[in-house]
């Protein structure tokens, strides 16, 4: 007696929980990366947001308050997702979603610039005057029309940081095996974001039209890097929770198989 053929749905790649997991992780990674780029145009004051007295930093002869782009709210999630994908799907998985995110960021900005170039309806330009926006078209262009130097710096820094993160994560993993998840996650972020934090500001604001002086560039880059590292450390418990949740979803044997393959 022969076994009955499996229905088409059972033969589908989507029947595999690991495939579904990768799609979900890739989608969540990409949407966070794209959103971080677009909301990054806003600079917020950390002290005012928390309702505390200004925390004045003084570095390289420069001083200032704790001001960050709104994108910093999402970049720690991107770091976390990078390490989770690396843990279960290895360097090929991270490279794939990183390049996919970069393409989607370019795609998003291309259509943002296309939308800016469209002739606005006359009534729409004045539609938000009651909210204090005298010219909706100018506001739209200011928010979505980020400078090309900023976009280029962000993309170069993002991809460079991701590739470095992959290499460092796998290097630490080869030395520690399955132990010390926190070490490879935090260690890879420490190195990759050191590069990312300095490269993006150097391209956008030193090479770019603002031509920042080097002391200002070093000071602001250091403050941004310090924030990212604090966020990475704060997310260590979440890394273990996500890892446990994925293991529960896949099953211990399947999760172990994926981690073993990812480490190869």
CA gap 218, 233 in Å, rounded: 22
pLDDT in tens, the chain (264 residues): 445 555 555 567 788 899 999 999 999 999 999 999 998 888 888 888 889 888 888 888 888 888 888 888 888 889 889 999 999 999 999 999 999 999 999 999 999 999 999 999 999 999 999 999 999 999 999 888 888 888 899 999 999 999 999 999 999 998 887 788 889 989 999 999 899 899 999 998 899 888 889 999 999 899 989 988 998 899 999 999 999 999 999 999 999 999 999 987
Residue 8 lies in a domain: no
pTM for the full predicted model = 0.88
Domain containing residue 60 = 16-263
Number of domains in the chain: 1
CA gap 177, 175 in Å, rounded: 6
Residue 95 lies in a domain: yes
Residue 182 lies in a domain: yes
Residue 3 lies in a domain: no
CA gap 255, 245 in Å, rounded: 10
Does residue 239 contact residue 182 with C-beta atoms inside 8 Å?
yes
- pLDDT of the residue at 13: 78
Residue 243 lies in a domain: yes
> What six digits make up the tokens of 17?
């929980």
Residue 229: CA count within 13 A, CB half-sphere: 16
Helices (H) and strands (E) counted in the chain, each on its own, are 11, 4
Residue 7 lies in a domain: no
CA gap 260, 18 in Å, rounded: 14
Residue 11 lies in a domain: no
């Amino acid at each position: 007696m022969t076994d009955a053929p499996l229905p088409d749905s059972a033969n589908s790649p989507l029947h595999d929980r690991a495939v579904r997991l990768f799609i979900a992780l890739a989608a969540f990674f990409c949407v966070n990366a794209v959103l971080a780029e677009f909301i990054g145009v806003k600079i917020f004051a950390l002290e005012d947001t928390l309702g505390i007295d200004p925390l004045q930093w003084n570095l390289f002869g420069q001083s200032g308050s704790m001001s960050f782009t709104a994108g910093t709210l999402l970049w720690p999630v991107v770091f976390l997702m990078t390490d989770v994908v690396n843990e279960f799907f290895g360097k090929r998985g991270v490279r794939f979603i990183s390049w996919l995110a970069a393409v989607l960021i370019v795609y998003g900005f291309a259509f943002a610039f296309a939308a800016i170039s469209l002739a606005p309806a006359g009534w729409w330009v004045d539609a938000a005057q009651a909210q204090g926006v005298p010219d909706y078209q100018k506001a739209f262009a200011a928010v979505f029309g980020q400078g090309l130097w900023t976009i280029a710096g962000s993309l170069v820094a993002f991809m460079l940081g991701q590739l470095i993160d992959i290499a460092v994560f796998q290097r630490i993993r080869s030395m520690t095996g399955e132990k010390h998840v926190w070490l490879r996650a935090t260690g890879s972020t420490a190195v990759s974001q050191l590069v990312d934090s300095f490269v993006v500001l150097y391209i956008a604001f030193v090479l770019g039209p603002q031509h920042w002086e080097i002391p200002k560039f070093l000071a602001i880059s250091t403050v941004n890097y310090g924030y990212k590292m604090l966020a990475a450390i704060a997310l260590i418990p979440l890394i273990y929770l996500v890892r446990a949740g994925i293991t529960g979803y896949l099953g211990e044997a399947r999760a172990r198989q994926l981690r073993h393959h990812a480490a190869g």
